[in-house]
Amino acid sequence: MSMTFTPLAWNFCPICGAPLEPAHDGQSDRPHCSACNRFYYSNPTPAACCLVTRGSEILFVQRAVEPCRGMWSLPGGFVELYESPEEAARRELEEETGLRAQRLHLLGTNAQKSRFGAVLVIAYTVDEWEGDLVAGSDAMDAGFYAADVRPALAFQAHRDFLARYDALGEAGHPLLPL
């Protein structure tokens, strides 16, 4: 299914109700309220995911919810209001797999278009955890897979993170601990 995302077109200032007009902020034309002298920006929605390792195996979850129900992904989801990406990654990992991350390493970021608009995904690796692996309510299945039997992943961002992880492992570059 092909989709095109267009940022929300705001017509009125959410602070004072005055009409918004396009104005240049020094970088780009953006909605501007001349009454408040305030620019409005279309920002991405943040999400976080975990690439959990057990030796040479990586943890994947089979999605029980849309989008991409039945397909596989890294454990993850959207960052809640006033939650840090690290907190979201830990929460999503536990919700989807029953595992509690002991240590996170920043793997990288990825920006993508989705049915939810622009999404900024922050990925972490997890090599130490507690708990028993069990698929959560939003996962049909969860399991560790070796490199030669990895399932196809639903999201391009997750495929990119997996490729980045594989490349970092071969090059021996350290990941950033958090």
Are residue 37 and residue 85 in the same domain, yes or no? no
Is 94 part of a structural domain of the chain? Answer: yes
Are residue 102 and residue 37 in the same domain, yes or no? no
pLDDT in tens, 81-94: 999 999 999 999 99
Enumerate residues 6+ apart whose C-beta is below 8 A from 111.
Answer: 44, 118, 119, 120, 121
Are residue 69 and residue 133 in the same domain, yes or no? yes
Is 91 part of a structural domain of the chain? Answer: yes
- What percentage of the chain exceeds 90 in pLDDT? 78
Indicate the residue type of 66: E
Alpha helices in the chain (DSSP H): 85-97, 156-171
Is 115 part of a structural domain of the chain? Answer: yes
pLDDT in tens, 10-38: 799 999 999 999 999 999 999 999 999 99
Q: Which two tokens stand for residue 148?
A: 């030669």
pLDDT in tens, 133-151: 999 989 999 999 998 999 9
Q: What is the CATH number of the domain that holds 58?
A: 3.90.79.10
Question: DSSP code of 152?
Answer: P
Is 5 part of a structural domain of the chain? Answer: no
Residues 106, 115: Cα–Cα separation, whole Å: 26
Domain of residue 63, residue span: 45-173
Is 81 part of a structural domain of the chain? Answer: yes
Are residue 86 and residue 161 in the same domain, yes or no? yes
Give the total number of structural domains in the chain. Answer: 2
Are residue 69 and residue 152 in the same domain, yes or no? yes
Are residue 113 and residue 54 in the same domain, yes or no? yes
Report the b/e string of 15-32 with b at 16+ CB within 10 A.
eeeeebeeeeeeeeebbb
Provide the pLDDT for residue 4. 42
Are residue 71 and residue 98 in the same domain, yes or no? yes
Is 2 part of a structural domain of the chain? Answer: no
Is 72 part of a structural domain of the chain? Answer: yes
Are residue 104 and residue 89 in the same domain, yes or no? yes
* SS3 at position 64: coil
Are residue 89 and residue 20 in the same domain, yes or no? no
Provide the pLDDT for residue 117. 86
